[in-house]
């Protein structure tokens, strides 16, 4: 009974709001929130932090709790609301990797040509190649579509502009998934998958964007290691869809990029 009385006399909301607020400040200050949410969502966290600060001030101004206000139900709710913060301690530097790729991928990588209605078609690119004047004009009008610069492109660029990089030497960073029986059955041995997760809002909705890599992988490379791959982009056409493929790849292991996800 004495313990019950003691527990009920503690203003549990104050530590709850303080811990939550501290984690939000830490996430924003360190930029670590982009391991959970897309970068633009900082304002959502700021809004949540302001509300928590207001709740904390209200809790501090409130009279000392009594049994009517602080029951075992309140203590239990606070314990449940603190649970994500303890799990947060277990996430340091962690991101979605090979296990999640296996669980979240749906079929082999495919790009829908109509993914980007404003993207140019192969005919547009041929026309531009034949007429340099047109290239300058279109480059000014649609810089993203007609800029042939392949430096610092990501897997997502291949999905956004399906025909833009065909036949070009490109270099991509991602995780290399090797020894996939499904891919081996469909495309033969020696084909691996380079992938990165793309976040729409938060990690819960992350989906892998992937390309096939046709060529020898370095011996001893662990599956789902971070690599930089340079090679020729040679997609296979299947109706309105493309199977993105990098041929003759040079694969070298690389450090994990500052942002493991694409947004």
Partner 1 sequence: MSTCQPTQTVKPRSRIPLILSLLFIGGAYLLLILYHRQESIKTFSVVFCAIMFEAAPFMLLGSLIGGIIEAFVSRERLNRLIPAGRVLPIFIAAGLGLILPICECAIVPVVRRLCGKGLPPAAAIAYLLGGPAVNPLVAFSTALAYQWDWRIAGLRLLLGYTLAVGIALILQRLLSGKPVLLASITAHPAHNHSCSCCAHTHSHLESATSTSPARLFVRKLYAALTHASEDFLTAGHYLVIGAFIAALAQTYIDREFFTRFSSYPVLPTLLLIALAVLLNLCSETDAFIAASLRNLLPLSSQLAFMLTGPIFDLKLLLMYQQVFTRRTIIALALTILLSVFTVSSIIEMLERYC
Residues that bind partner 1 (CB under 8 A): 13, 16-17, 20, 27, 33, 35-37, 41, 44-45, 47-48, 51-52, 54-55, 57-59, 61-62, 68-69, 72-74, 76-81, 83-84, 86-88, 90-91, 94-97, 99-100, 102-107, 110, 112, 114-117, 200-205, 207, 241
Q: Which is nearer to partner 1, 27 or 173 (CB)?
A: 27
Could you tell me the end-to-end alpha-carbon distance of the chain, in angstroms, rounded to an integer? 54
Per DSSP, the residues of 186-241 read HH-TTEEEEEEEE-SSBGGG-EEEEEEEESPPPTTPPTTEEEEEEEEE-PEEETTE
Q: Which is nearer to partner 1, 51 or 250 (CB)?
A: 51
Return the number of other C-beta atoms located less than 10 Å from residue 101's C-beta: 20
Distance of alpha carbon 97 from the chain centroid: 10
Q: Which is nearer to partner 1, 86 or 148 (CB)?
A: 86
Q: How far is the CB of 162 from partner 1 (least distance, A)?
A: 12
187 near 84, Cβ under 8 Å? no
Q: How far is the CB of 80 from partner 1 (least distance, A)?
A: 4
Rounded to an integer, what distance in angstroms lies between the CA atom of residue 134 and that of residue 137? 5
Q: How far is the CB of 115 from partner 1 (least distance, A)?
A: 6
Q: Which is nearer to partner 1, 57 or 250 (CB)?
A: 57
């Amino acid at each position: 009974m004495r313990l019950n009385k003691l527990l009920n006399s503690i203003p549990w909301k104050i530590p709850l709001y303080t811990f939550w607020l501290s984690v939000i400040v830490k996430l924003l200050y360190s930029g670590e929130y982009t391991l959970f949410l897309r970068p633009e969502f900082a304002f959502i966290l700021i809004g949540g932090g302001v509300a928590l600060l207001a709740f904390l001030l209200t809790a501090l101004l409130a009279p000392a709790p009594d049994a009517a206000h602080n029951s075992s139900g309140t203590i239990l709710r606070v314990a449940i609301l603190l649970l994500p913060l303890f799990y947060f301690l277990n996430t340091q530097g962690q991101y979605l990797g090979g296990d999640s790729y296996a669980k979240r991928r749906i079929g082999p990588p495919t790009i829908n040509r109509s993914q980007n209605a404003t993207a140019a078609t192969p005919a547009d690119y041929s026309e531009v190649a034949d007429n340099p004047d047109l290239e300058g004009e279109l480059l000014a009008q649609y810089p993203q579509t007609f800029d042939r610069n392949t430096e610092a492109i990501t897997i997502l660029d291949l999905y956004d502009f399906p025909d833009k990089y065909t036949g070009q030497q490109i270099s991509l960073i991602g995780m290399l998934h090797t020894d996939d029986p499904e891919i081996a059955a469909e495309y033969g041995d020696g084909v691996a998958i380079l992938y990165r997760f793309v976040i729409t809002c938060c990690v819960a909705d992350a989906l892998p964007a992937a390309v096939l890599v046709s060529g020898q992988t370095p011996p001893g490379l662990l599956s789902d290691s971070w690599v930089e791959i340079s090679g020729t982009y040679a997609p296979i056409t299947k109706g309105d869809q493309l199977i993105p493929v990098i041929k003759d790849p040079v694969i070298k292991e690389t450090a994990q990029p500052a942002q493991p996800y694409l947004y």
